Amino acid sequence: MTTLRLREQDLEGKVAVITGATRGIGRAIAMNLASRGASILGTCSHASSLDLIANMRDEIDALYKEANQERTCRTTGLAANITSPTCAEDIVKKILDLRYGVDIFVNNAADSLPGGIGDLTVNEIQKSMISNIQTPVLIVDEFVKRKMFRPESRIIYISSIRSRQPWSEQLMYAAGKSAGESLCRTWSMAFGGNEEKFSFMAGTTANSVSVGLTQTDSVMQCPPDALEKFKQEFIPLQSIPRFGQPDDVADVVGMLCSRDTRWITGCVLSASGGGIKIG
Ligand SMILES: NC(=O)c1ccc[n+]([C@@H]2O[C@H](COP(=O)([O-])OP(=O)(O)OC[C@H]3O[C@@H](n4cnc5c(N)ncnc54)[C@H](OP(=O)(O)O)[C@@H]3O)[C@@H](O)[C@H]2O)c1
């Protein structure tokens, strides 16, 4: 497991918007980017989770203090539920209040509830599509319409190996993640510099990261027999056969946010210890 440390300040002056930043993979991504100098707007489902963002801010402050380095970036929390039709507007309002632009957008929060074939309700189907497809589309659209994205921005959609390793109990989840990968391919083509109307954000890349089984709250809250079944399903297929950690994924996302990856766009990267082999 990666120990928390102050890193090279290559993201100084950049702003990252990360959905679902209070826990698990989203939090690890926020810590990675903040420890490189980025200001973070991290969202969560309810105001009751905002304390977790405040804790993260304290941890980052402590890192800078320990290194005797001045901290110019800020970490801000916002309750913006991805199931709400106003989620994108709420995020935009906050960015305007903070007088930020956007350099990095990580679509991390997701509706991961199981939805078994034959048992799905209209509400469950709609909730899944709103959370995993509609809301990320609306967020990117708002950032584009308002010219909030800056040149050479990064869009990263957190996908799942479930879209390639299907299971009848996660029909809509897998479909939503596949849609997210497709969105990135289209965004990459539109925002790279080919289209005049998006020239203000030329050089922007859009990639998805296909995540394998990772030890986060949502997974650890599964009943023990279900957790064991997931481990048996996924870990033996991995090239590196251990339980993935949030930092394993955050370091891949962090890499995609660096300037060195400016030539990678429209891709799906597997962050699963080889659980799924793409390309
Ligand atoms: N863990 C895995 O094994 C795994 C595998 C493949 C893909 N993934 C993907 O990785 C991403 C992160 O998963 P995770 O395991 O890190 O989850 P997690 O530990 O459960 O954290 C979820 C985060 O998303 C936020 N969130 C949940 N529902 C939300 C909503 N309706 N509106 C806004 N924010 C919401 C939570 O905020 P609150 O604190 O307010 O609840 C929290 O910050 C997801 O896209 C998931 O599909 C995970």
How confident is the model at residue 4, as a pLDDT?
Answer: 74
User: Is 211 a pocket residue for ligand 1 (Cβ < 6 Å)?
Assistant: yes
Mutate to test the pocket of ligand 1, among 78, 106, 112 (most ligand atoms within 8 A of CB): 112
Taking the C-alpha atoms of residue 248 and residue 84, their distance in angstroms, rounded to an integer, is 30
Q: Is the pLDDT of residue 3 over 70?
A: no
**Cβ density class 257-277: b for 16+ within 10 Å, e for less:** beeeeeeebbbbbbbbbebbe
For the CA of 159, the closest atom of ligand 1 is 7
Taking the C-alpha atoms of residue 231 and residue 226, their distance in angstroms, rounded to an integer, is 9
How confident is the model at residue 71, as a pLDDT?
Answer: 85
**Tens digits of residue pLDDT in 83-138:** 999 999 999 999 999 999 999 999 999 998 878 999 999 999 999 999 999 999 99
The domain spans of the chain are 15-271
Q: What is the mean pLDDT of residues 248-258?
A: 98
Span 15-271 CATH architecture:
3-Layer(aba) Sandwich (3.40)
Q: What is the mean pLDDT of residues 185-205?
A: 98
- Which of 45, 6, 9, 8 is closest to 26 using CA atoms? 45
How confident is the model at residue 115, as a pLDDT?
Answer: 81
**Tens digits of residue pLDDT in 160-184:** 999 999 999 999 999 999 999 999 9
